[in-house]
Structure 1
Amino acid sequence: MTTISLRPVADRPREKLLRQGSVTLTDAELLAAFISSGQGGKCAYTMACALLQRFGSLRGVTEAGETDFTQVAGMGAVRYVQFQAAREIFRRQLAEPLKKDSVFHRADDVTAYLRASLRHCPQERFGVLLLDSQHQLIEFKILFTGTVNSAAVYPREVVREVIRANAAALILVHNHPSGIADPSDADVTLTREIRSAMALIDVDVLDHIIVGDTLCVSLAQRGLM
Structure 2
Amino acid sequence: MRDHEAELRAAWASEDAGESSAVAETLADRTATNNRRGLGGTIKDMDPADRPRERLIRLGADALSNAELVAILLSTGDREENALEKSRGLLQERGLVGLLRSDVQDLKRVTGLGEAKVTRIKAAVELAARGLADDEWPAREPFQTSKQVFDRYRGLLGDLTHEEVWVLVLDQQHCLIREERLYKGTVHGVTVRVSEMLRPVILHQGAAMIVVHNHPSGSPSPSRADRKLTSELVAGTRMMSIDFLDHVIVARSQFASMAELGLMDARFHEEAGEEQGSG
Give the drift of 1:155: 2.5
Specify the alignment match of 1:79 in structure 2.
117
Give the drift of 1:52: 2.0
Contact 1:98 1:136 in 2 (8 A): no
Distance 1:157 1:16, change over 3 A: closer
Specify the alignment match of 1:141 in structure 2.
180
TM-score (norm 1): 0.78
Q: Which whole-Å deviations, capped at 9, do the CAs of 1:83-122 have from their partners, x for residues lacking one?
A: 12213322443347553332338955x4354234333443
Contact 1:149 1:176 in 2 (8 A): no
Paired residues for 1:78-157 under 5 Å:
78-93=116-131, 94-95=133-134, 97=137, 99-104=139-144, 108=148, 110-157=149-196
Contact 1:62 1:83 in 2 (8 A): no
Paired letter, 2:126: E
Structure 2 unaligned blocks of 5 or more: 1-33, 265-279
Q: Which one is further off, 8-17 or 153-162?
A: 8-17
Distance 1:69 1:159, change over 3 A: closer
Bigger radius of gyration among the two = 2
The 1-side partners of 2:193 and 2:102 are apart by 31
Contact 2:146 2:246 in 1 (8 A): no
Bigger fraction of residues in helix: 2
Paired letter, 1:215: Q
Specify the alignment match of 2:202 in structure 1.
163
The 2-side partners of 1:181 and 1:106 are apart by 13
Give the drift of 1:209: 0.8
Q: Which whole-Å deviations, capped at 9, do the CAs of 1:181-221 have from their partners, x for residues lacking one?
A: 12234423432331122112211111111111233332333
Question: Counterpart of 1:126 in 2: which secondary structure?
Answer: strand
The 1-side partners of 2:151 and 2:55 are apart by 29
Give the drift of 1:70: 2.7
Structure 1 unaligned blocks of 5 or more: none
The 1-side partners of 2:173 and 2:129 are apart by 22
Residues 1:40 and 2:75 are matched in the alignment = no
Distance 1:64 1:157, change over 3 A: closer
Alpha-carbon RMSD across the aligned residues, in angstroms, is 3.2
Give the drift of 1:47: 0.8
Contact 1:207 1:220 in 2 (8 A): yes
Contact 2:97 2:159 in 1 (8 A): no
Q: Which one is further off, 62-71 or 14-23?
A: 14-23
TM-score (norm 2): 0.65
